[in-house]
Structure formats: C-alpha cells, structure tokens
Structure 1
C-alpha cells in the first residue's frame, strides 16, 4: 500500500450504515491493523488478542452511556470489514490498552515508546493556520485513511485516521478543527472511561469551541491527552488527565498568538501539574526537543503561511527523532517512530494540505472541502 496515495472513504447514512460503508472500503487496511496491533499489545501490554478484546469489552457500558451510536458504528465497521465487533472495539481502544501497559512497563524500566505528535495553531496572520504531524509505528503507513462523513444530523466532518478507528485529527463544516497529542501519566491505568479516539470523534461532531469544551468537561475520560481546538476565530488547548472536568487544564490562544504542543504537559497550574507523574518526557524523550525546535522555527517565520509550517513539520534537526520523524534502524521494529501523516489546515478556506508519509519527501496534496461542507456531494 502506498504511503503517498490516501484511501479516501466517504460514508453517509445512520451510524450502522456509515460503519458498513467504511468497513467495506477499508477492509484490507483494517485487517492489517488487526494483525499489527495483536503484536503491539503482546509486546507492550503483555496481552494476547483474546485478552485485549476482553479488556475492551469492559468499556462497552461507558461508551453506551456516552454515545450509543459509536457502538452501532463499530458494529457496522465490523460487518463491512468481515471481522468481529470486539476486534473493532479493541482497535478503537488502542490508547487505553497500549499506553497504560507501556507507561507502567517503560516508566519503571526507563525505556521509551515510538514517537507521537507535534501539533500547532497559528493565529498571527489574517486567517488561522493549524496542523500537525502524526508520528507512530511505521506499519501505520499502510493503514491510514481519509474519512469523509455525512451524518444524518450535525456537521459534516473529515478525519485522517487509522483504518477501523472512529476518528483522529480533522475538521468539520462548522469551521471547527481538532488536533491532538497523546499524553501519558502515572494515572493512565486503563480504567474504563470514554476512550481517547471516541472523544476525538465527539469533538469533531460539535459545532463550536464552546460546545467542544462542554463535551470534554461532561465526560469521564479514560486516558490523558491534549486536545487543541480551533474555531470561532479563537483556539483553546485542553491538557487532560483521566477523569472529568476538574482534570483538565485550559489555555486560550488569542489573536496574534500561536501554540505548539507535543507529548508532555505544559500546564503552569501547580495543583494540576502535581497530580500524577507526567511520563511523557521519560517514555517519549524527543517531546521536549520537538516542541522547542518548532517554536524556534515559528519565531523566525516572517509571517504565518502554509509553506512556513510545512518547513517546520519537515524539519530534521535531531534526526531521526526530529519533528519529521524517521525510523531508527537500531531499534526494534515496534519501537520505531515515523511520521505517518502530516497536515497543514486552513480552516476558513476549508482546505487541508495533507502528506501521507514524510513531509520532507512527499508533496502535499490539497483537499478543498468547500463544496462537501456546504452539503454538496
């Protein structure tokens, strides 16, 4: 499967019907995800696939209370792809299964995990420019899809996501953009709560920054994560630990400002920061460098531009553990990190400039969603 040519899937109808369309179109990539996550869960969480699906099933009551349509859609994905519902559920719980196990093992042993994400929003120009690199294990090159969704209610939305998962980062027809970074703390023990990727999906279905904030505060979340939400001419960044409204630290990004986030907590809230140990700098040690380097490059940018941020996301300083991350051949294949996808988004223009693969080597492809977001198929 090419890393440069995305599989674009457009799904419409109700939750079950959308899931069937998605699953059928992405069946081969979903199977590849299942094969690889079986290996990943065994290595990092000491779980075989049967045990991983059993863990995933303990989340069903929480997910049903949060949004029962998510369960319907995952059932539809399973039907379309010819796999079991618990297979798809275990994929969507990859953060809860994987990071809780990795955090416990690697923080204790002093090891590291594959690289993760560098995200940004820039409000210094006349129009916002936002985006991120998504870094993960290299097998994900063959599992990425661009999911374009026409729900029966609510805004249309687009997400760049691993096949079989409900969402990752993306944008919607209400002008909202959702970017994200994995975070990991001593509190990430995999206790049932709203899973990370289902929370991303819920945020993409909201119509304003205020509504997105309400969704985050109303849920009992299972995992630590950072959510960078841009819309309504402003941006907010939410660093979250497992828990509810009191387990979120908020920062606003006003006009004339910008923010870069990687895989550690930045909160200056002493009480918040002292609750639980931030494992990010220990298990993802390049997180501190990537943020510092991206900020330094942003400061030197004459004015915000797609080209300027493309250069930031393509940067190789500290290679291979750079903003543009490349696999280190000296590491185990499942511990390697690689930039799997890179996006620079112009929300007001409804345009996403996307690279599947390394942005240093692969041209960006521009997707104009003006017509799609206006309700025109």
Structure 2
C-alpha cells in the first residue's frame, strides 16, 4: 500500500509535514516530471518558470493552499517553483501530449521553436447501489514510474474538517473524499485553449473542492472560475447527487447521468464544450473505455463495491481496456497504464485502494478515521 500521511495543523505546517515525510517520493515526482517535460521539449528550468507563473493565480484563488505548497517545498528541501511545477503539471504539458508538441506551441509557451489520457471514472447513486449509499470510483492511468511517488494524505484542518486523497507526492490532491460525504475523481481533457494563459491548476482546484459538502456547492464553486487547462471533475455526494464538471479555460459545463449512474473518460461529453476539443490519438481509448463502463453500469440492476472492482479490472479490449497495460509499441513517454484504482463509499468515508493495476493486487481499505475501518 502507498504511505498514508496524517497531516494536521496550519496550511504551512501540513505542507512541511507532507514534504518532510514524503521527501523521497517528492524527489521521485520531480525526477519523473523533469524527464516527462524534457520529452516534450520543456527543460526543467522552463517548467519551473512556467510553474512560477501560477503562483499568484493560486494565491488569489486560495492563499492557504499556496502556503501549503510553499510548506511542501520547505519540508522537502526543494525550490518552491519545483513544487508549483508539479501542481501545475497538467497546465504545463502541451495539449497534444503524448504526441510531440508543435513548433508553434513551443514558440507560444517558451518563446522558441522547437495518448494524453487519464482515467475511467463512475458515480453510482443510492438508487442503483446495492448498499443504498453513493459510490464513486476511478482507475488512474498514467506512467508506471509514478506509482512509486504516490501517497495517501489524511488531512485535518484547524477547524476540524478532514479529507483523504490519493495523490502524487508534492501535489495537493487528486482522487479524494471528505468527512461531509463528498468526493472527487479526475479525468484529464484537452482543448485548444489549454495553457494559453495561467489559470487555476486543476490539482489545486481538486483540493479546494474537498472543502465542499455537496455537488451543488461544487458546481457553484467552479462557476466563473478561470482555469489553465481542461479537465473533468466527476463528483458525488452522500445525498445521491452526482455531476461531471467539464472545465476548460473558457468555462464550465455540467453533465448529469441517467439511470442512477454517471460515467466519464477523457473526452468532452457536453456538445457545447466539444467545439474546442483537441482530437485524441486512438491509443488513448477514451471512447471504448466509456462504452465499457456504460455496459457495466447498465448490465446490473444494482452495483456494489465488488461489481465496480470487476469494471475497473476489465481487460476485454486488450491494451485499450479500462484496466490498462502499457503498449510496448509506443514510445516510452507515451506508455500509459493503470497506476492505481480507487472505490469510495462516501457515506462511510472510506476508500478501497488497489496500489497497482487492480488485476495484479487486492483492494485495501483506507479510512478518513483509522478507527472507522470495518470490513
């Protein structure tokens, strides 16, 4: 299992604890993203400069989260711009990734010439859940090397609020839930407007959304928010509401599910958002993965943790499956695989985490409150 870090205190104190306790994993994140950015023609010094460009945006949006980022840097003994680059990695990467960026894109971002996809996610309402409680689940597809940089953060704020998130060391959040019964998953999207100007980084937004108590509150939070790149936040709450928040630098579109489930992969579903979408390489399998998730969702009268595990372990489409294996025919920097898998029971405040491809390992229970874990 990934390390579970219990972080308490002020934002700065939580950040320092994160950086110090996960120092080696933060260093692994930095090494992996240095290599990844360089494969796109972005040197690490340029990545840090670009990361620094998000500092004021983050500070204006959530000053406490900027303090936490700076605390991570101090605790890990790294430059603040390195941690900013990690938290803005989605916004820094070119829209065409993993294909090489165009000379025009590099010129526009860096002042010189020179199968991005993450995840299958599903929300299940109480009406379709065998337990009568909301479920939220996701496979996170990325580069296998980053598996060794993952951590689980169990955070408690000064006001006593708590959240649990699976994330990359040095980054504020990714997949998570809180003590108010609200949870988030992430699907990266791509549009032609991504990265044109600094806007709120999605991994910072995910952490901010973990302060919400409902989908309605999350929808209100993203209205009018300026983002630096496109993403979908699939969110749900213990009251049974769910929504896909398709976000881009030009606005937010809310997609709702049918029949008590809502599935999402890595392409825009809202028709009005599709106009600026970047065409995805077939290797990213976004469309077949969505079709597979929909088949699973419609194939049973009710869904439970076990049936969601079967979906997230599905390998029926080979290298294009929901449970992804790296394609050896692709360049190394384009070989995506399922790095981890998570199923959340929002009312209970627990995660079932598979710390590898879920076909290779068992799911293990991690809770917001350790004493709350019961099988």
Relative to the length of structure 1, the TM-score reads 0.89
State which of 59, 62, 86 in structure 1 corresponds to 2:54: 59
> For 2:121, what is the secondary structure of its paired residue?
strand
Deviation at 1:302, TM superposition (A): 4.4
Which deviates more from structure 2 when the two are superposed, residues 297-306 or residues 257-266?
A: 297-306
Distance 2:36 2:63 in 1: 28
Contact 1:103–1:188 (CA<8 Å) still a contact in 2?
no
1:189 positional shift: 3.0
CA distance in 2, matches of 1:301, 1:368: 28
Whether the 8 Å contact between 1:101 and 1:189 is mirrored in structure 2 is no
Deviation string, structure 1 residues 212-240 (Cα, Å, up to 9, x no partner): 11221142111111111111321122111
Aligned residue pair count: 358
1:263 corresponds in structure 2 to: 266
CA offsets, 1:43-65, max 9 Å, x none?
12x11111111111111121111
Query: For the Cα contact (< 8 Å) 1:202–1:215, is it kept in 2?
Result: no
8 Å CA contact retained: 1:26, 1:81: yes
Shift, 1:295, TM fit: 1.0
Note if contact 2:15-2:71 (Cα within 8 Å) is conserved in structure 1: yes
The answer (yes or no) to whether the contact 2:189–2:266 under 8 Å persists in 1 is yes
2:176 match: secondary structure: strand
Change over 3 Å in CA distance of 1:320–1:309 after alignment to 2: same
Aligned to 1:88: 83
In structure 1, C-alpha distance between the alignment counterparts of 2:339 and 2:317, rounded to whole Å? 18
TM-score using structure 2 length: 0.90
Contact 1:352 1:368 in 2 (8 A): yes
Work out whether residues 114 and 137 of structure 1, in 8 Å CA contact, stay in contact via their aligned partners in 2: no
Q: Classify the secondary structure of the residue corresponding to 1:160.
A: strand
SS at match of 1:357: coil
| Kept in 2: contact 1:34–1:87 (CA 8 A) | yes
CA separation in 2, counterparts of 1:369 and 1:24? 21
Deviations 1:296-325 (A, max 9, x none): 122223421111010000010222221001
Residue number among 162, 169, 183 corresponding to 1:163 in the alignment: 169
Q: Deviations over 1:198-222 (max 9, x none)?
A: 1111101222222211221142111
Structure 2 counterpart SS, 1:320: helix
Q: Which moved more, 1:353-362 or 1:95-104?
A: 95-104
Q: Structure 1 unaligned segments of length 5 or more: list them.
A: none
Local SS of the residue matching 2:347: helix
* 1:67-82 matched pairs, under 5 angstroms: 67-82=62-77
Match for residue 122 of structure 1 among 117, 121, 124: 124
Q: Distance in 2 between matches of 1:347 and 1:280?
A: 34
For residue 155 of structure 2, give the secondary structure of its aligned residue in structure 1.
Answer: strand
Is 1:147 aligned to 2:164, yes or no? no
Are the counterparts in 1 of residues 117 and 142 from structure 2 also a CA contact under 8 Å?
Answer: yes
Displacement after TM superposition at 1:164 (Å)? 0.3
Quote the Cα distance in structure 1 between the aligned partners of 2:303 and 2:215. 22
Task: Give the Å deviation of 1:285.
Answer: 3.6
Between the aligned partners of 2:124 and 2:282, the Cα distance in structure 1 is 28
Matches within 5 A, 1:141-220: 141-153=147-159, 155-220=161-226
Matching of residue 102 in structure 1 with residue 97 in structure 2: yes
- Alignment pair present for 1:9 and 2:11: no
Aligned-residue offset at 1:330: 2.2
Q: Which stretch shifts more, 285-294 or 211-220?
A: 211-220
Q: Return the alpha-carbon distance in structure 2 between the equivalents of residues 293 and 241 of structure 1.
A: 26
Q: Per-residue deviation at 1:148?
A: 0.5
Q: How many Å apart are 1:331 and its aligned residue?
A: 2.0
Instruction: Provide the C-alpha distance between the structure 1 equivalents of 2:159 and 2:102, rounded to a whole number of angstroms.
Output: 43
Which residue of structure 2 aligns with residue 48 of structure 1?
A: 43
1:233 aligns to what? 240
Number of the residue aligned with 2:347: 348
Please report the RMSD computed on the Cα atoms of aligned residues, expressed in angstroms.
2.2
